[in-house]
Amino acid sequence: MAVRMLMVCALATLVCRVWSSAEPRHSEKELHPQVLHPWRSRGKGLVRVKRDWIIPPIRVSENSKQIPETLVQIKSDKIFTGEVIYKLEGPGVDQEPKNLFEIDDKTGVIRSKRPLDREKYSSFSLKAFALSPSGERLENPTTIKIVVLDQNDNRPVFLHSPFVGTVSEFSVPGTSVMTVTAIDADDPVTENAVLSYSIIGQESIPPNAITKIMFGINNETGAIYTRDVGLDREVVKEFKLKLQVADMGGMGLTSEGVAIIHVSDINNHAPQFSPDLYSMTAVENRNNYELGRVNVTDRDDTGTGNWEARYSIGNDHGGNFAVHTDPITNQGVLTVVKPLDYEAQSKYHLFLEVENLNPLSSKASRLTSSIATVTVTVVNENEAPRFREDPIQIEVPESVQPGTLLKSNIAFDPDNSDLRYEISRDPESWLDINRDTGDITAKRKFNMRSPHVKNSIYTAAVKVTDAGGVSAVATVAIALKETNDFPPQVFPLTGFVCRGGSRSRNGLLLTAVDEDLPPQAAPFLFQIPDDLSANWTITQVNDTHAMLQPLVDLEVRDYAVTVLVSDSGSPALSAEAQVNVTVCLCDSFRDCKSEAGAILGSSVGINFIALIIIVASAALLLLLLLLAVALTACGRRHHIKKGTGLLIGESEDDIRDNVFNYDEQGGGEEDENAFNIDLLWNPHDAPPTQGSFYPGSGIPPRGKQPLRKDAPHKLPSPTYPRRPPADPTDIEDYINDGLEAADHDPNVPPYDTALIYDYEGDGSLAGSLSSIASGSSDGDQDYDYLNDWGPRFKKLANMYDPR
């Protein structure tokens, strides 16, 4: 292809004719591109080598106002018999950003459709095609590169607004403060992006504190530096600089910015006391309280280490005072850390020094350290008495004699006033104290076994009061030393020894009990007095036990052996005891057999005889009682005739006097446990009432009886049979009549109701049912008639069935 271009290039074996884009623009009719034939032969015998066209980039200025603008025309150098169609593809045509370029498909002229922006798209790479009407490629695709030329259409911009920096006061000229930076969106390889910095204004805070120019700036790098002396933070706090940046080396577009420079403090001022003389008052015997405050002035920056003060006391040798800094006010707070004593020293002269937390700068004025004098006057007050020790330690033996002096000179008064003493706590009342001198004495002997003695320490309390009524209390700790007050006692005092067998195994093991505590108790020494040791000996087993053994084979009886036991106290105490030993025959388990031993002088023997007598007497009484019961039963059975029945036999009492009239207690036809004996009553008595119960039945009173729900309330009751039959054999009819009347009585509970009964007193005039005609033995009775009385007496009939 031959292309109409903006420049001319000559290459070996390649000829390219380019029309300059700087030439005057012509209409499309005036455009006559040169048709090139690069592969035409120049002589016979030459071989044509086919090469593609190399087309230089097409340069187009951004923001062009001549739209549409013809950029280039492409044309194929081949001769075709048909029509040639030109196509263009790539970014700016059919790819994003679309519709920036177009091509005339018949002439091959490429035009821009809209103004271009280099800051968005700096170049485009397009593909040009020569096609036949059928779409067949006539040439290889040609690459066309379009470069957008930059114009100075962007102002430079500062990256920050404002810029903030810091410079120390009294900095020398040339001290770097900070660097400001700006950017320009134009092409950095052109003059459009070459920036230049400058300071166009300066303000001081406070205003007009300094009028001379204090700062400069490097116009290429934007570095700000000091250019003069006189930066004093006490005079000026900060500066506000007005900056400017321009492109094209300072000749193009401009922008403005702000830089704020703070003047930082250095410790060039030492703190000074104001005033330097102070008077304060302190109360004796108090500590950890504020005594007073001292003031300092410092012109350095408040709240920094150059301003914060640090105090010290130069001559407090006793360490009674301390000073610290109030972080808010920077004052020195003087405190009392140890109680002061007016009687020891009534006035103090303190020297306070002050310095900053940070070291003083070398640029500070040479001033001597500031010192303040503080005079502290101690105020006297009535002090409480003081014990020389608390607790008051006393060590005495527990058997100390009453009136013994235990402790003296236990307290004193700092104000030298008279003191009064008293015992404020003494649970066992063992102590006494002199009210004037405070001497503690023993009122009576101590006892180590008191519940108030813990770990051999008895604790009491003493109170002392001065003339002004101020008192103090101290604990008295009395360490009691154990003394040998009680002799040991032998235990047990009774026992048995088996007769015969191995002597080494026969014996009574003895021990001792001592109310004293170690070392006044065990080990114990067991002995038998020489004049009593003919038949017995005692052998020590260990520190607390010994074995009492016979020396010869003794008869079976009781023996009284005297044993002497001694403790290990100082001095040692001893006691004799009589041990009652029974010599008996033993079984294989080494237990005494039933053979009685001698009981003379033995409390165990006496108790055994008494027990035997009591048991024998009880057995005799029981035998007499059984005999009397048997005789009574035989007498009653003698009066019952054979075949007359249990309920119809002869009796001294009328049967009516033995059957009481009570309410129905449940059961009904199937209640075989109660036998319905509740329907038997004395015909001479009134009808049964609610609340009655059988004497001795064990049914406790429960309250009111429940009412029947199967009949109206308060209806008249039926007539109950009032007369018993003349012949006792008709008692079955008599009972049935009474049962039928009770079943149809609407004023009594039904027979299957749980009834509630009231208490009717102790005892009963009626005898037990078992007393009815029971004079003869069961074997003489004929109980067949019980089977004829109905199901109510079935249980009773079964009980007396001879089968």
Separation between Cα atoms, residue 116 and residue 122, nearest integer Å: 9
Backbone angles phi, psi at 244, to 5 degrees: -140, 140
Q: Are 296 and 273 in contact (CB under 8 A)?
A: yes
**What CA–CA distances, in Å, run from 474 to 421, 425, 429, 432, 614?**
11, 10, 17, 15, 65
Please say if the pLDDT value at position 436 is more than 60: yes
Query: At 632, is the secondary structure helix, strand, or coil?
Result: helix
Which string of DSSP letters, residue by residue, matches 520-548?
A: SSPSPEEE--GGG-SSEEEEE-SSSEEEE
Backbone angles phi, psi at 75, to 5 degrees: -155, 135
Most confident segment among 63-77, 229-243, 600-614: 229-243
DSSP label of 800 = T
Reference 769, options 611, 598, 641, 653; nearest CA is: 653
Which string of DSSP letters, residue by residue, matches 340-382?
A: --TTT-SEEEEEEEEEESSPPPTTS---PPPEEEEEEEEEP--
Separation between Cα atoms, residue 75 and residue 129, nearest integer Å: 10
Give the model confidence (pLDDT) of 680-692 as tens digits.
Answer: 344 444 444 444 4
Please say if the pLDDT value at position 140 is more than 60: yes
Q: Are 415 and 385 in contact (CB under 8 A)?
A: no
Separation between Cα atoms, residue 501 and residue 509, nearest integer Å: 17
Backbone angles phi, psi at 740, to 5 degrees: -65, -40
pTM: 0.42
pLDDT for 605 equals 44
pLDDT for 760 equals 56
- pLDDT tier for residue 803 given thresholds of 50, 70 and 90: low
What's the average model confidence in pLDDT over 277-300? 91
Cα 75 to its chain centre, rounded Å, is 93
Strand partners, 294: 332
pLDDT for 685 equals 43
In the numeric block, the tokens 């029971």 are attached to 774
- Please give the residue that has the higher pLDDT: either 534 or 803: 534
DSSP H/E element including 735? helix 731-743
> Percentage of the chain with pLDDT > 90?
25
In the numeric block, the tokens 């950003």 are attached to 97
Q: Are 224 and 215 in contact (CB under 8 A)?
A: yes
Give the model confidence (pLDDT) of 460-475 as tens digits.
Answer: 999 999 888 889 999 9
Q: Are 215 and 174 in contact (CB under 8 A)?
A: no
pLDDT for 744 equals 73
Domains and CATH numbers, the chain: 58-149 (2.60.40.60), 157-264 (2.60.40.60), 272-379 (2.60.40.60), 386-481 (2.60.40.60), 489-584 (2.60.40.60)
Please say if the pLDDT value at position 650 is more than 60: no
Reference 785, options 731, 722, 726, 723; nearest CA is: 731
Tokens encoding 649: 């036999």
Backbone angles phi, psi at 223, to 5 degrees: -75, 130
**What CA–CA distances, in Å, run from 327 to 312, 321, 332, 489?**
16, 19, 10, 79
Give the model confidence (pLDDT) of 346-366 as tens digits.
Answer: 899 999 999 999 988 877 776
Three-class SS of 232-268:
CCCCCCEEEEEEEEECHHHCCCEEEEEEEEEEECCCC
Q: Are 210 and 235 in contact (CB under 8 A)?
A: yes
- pLDDT tier for residue 373 given thresholds of 50, 70 and 90: very high
Please say if the pLDDT value at position 710 is more than 60: no
Please say if the pLDDT value at position 657 is more than 50: no
236: Cβ contacts below 8 Å, ≥ 6 apart: 204, 205, 206, 209, 210, 263
- Please give the residue that has the higher pLDDT: either 531 or 246: 246
**What CA–CA distances, in Å, run from 385 to 160, 382, 393, 410, 411?**
76, 9, 18, 11, 7
pLDDT for 327 equals 93
Separation between Cα atoms, residue 479 and residue 492, nearest integer Å: 34
Give the model confidence (pLDDT) of 33-71 as tens digits.
Answer: 333 222 233 333 333 334 455 678 888 888 888 888 888
Separation between Cα atoms, residue 718 and residue 712, nearest integer Å: 14
Strand partners, 474: 462
Question: CB atoms < 10 A from the CB of 136, how many?
Answer: 8
**What CA–CA distances, in Å, run from 120 to 150, 187, 252, 302?**
11, 11, 21, 53
pLDDT for 749 equals 63
Reference 783, options 651, 639, 648, 681; nearest CA is: 648
Which string of DSSP letters, residue by residue, matches 502-514?
A: -TTT--EEEEEE-
Reference 485, options 439, 520, 535; nearest CA is: 520
Q: Are 13 and 42 in contact (CB under 8 A)?
A: no
Separation between Cα atoms, residue 83 and residue 131, nearest integer Å: 9
Separation between Cα atoms, residue 162 and residue 731, nearest integer Å: 133
DSSP H/E element including 177? strand 176-179
- Please give the residue that has the higher pLDDT: either 553 or 546: 546
- pLDDT tier for residue 751 given thresholds of 50, 70 and 90: low
What's the average model confidence in pLDDT over 387-400? 88
* Tally of residues, the chain: 803
Backbone angles phi, psi at 689, to 5 degrees: -120, 160
Strand partners, 197: 245
Please say if the pLDDT value at position 581 is more than 70: yes
Across 514-638, the runs of DSSP E, i.e. the strands, are 525-527, 536-540, 545-550, 558-566, 574-584
Please say if the pLDDT value at position 258 is more than 60: yes
Backbone angles phi, psi at 323, to 5 degrees: -135, 135
Please say if the pLDDT value at position 182 is more than 90: yes
Separation between Cα atoms, residue 375 and residue 363, nearest integer Å: 35
Question: How many Å is the Cα radius of gyration of the chain?
Answer: 69
Separation between Cα atoms, residue 144 and residue 279, nearest integer Å: 98
Reference 577, options 496, 484, 488; nearest CA is: 488
Q: How does the average pLDDT of the chain come out, rounded?
A: 76
**Which stretch of 210-219, 775-784, 793-802 has the lowest confidence by average pLDDT?**
775-784
Number of helices (H), then strands (E), belonging to the chain: the values are 3, 46
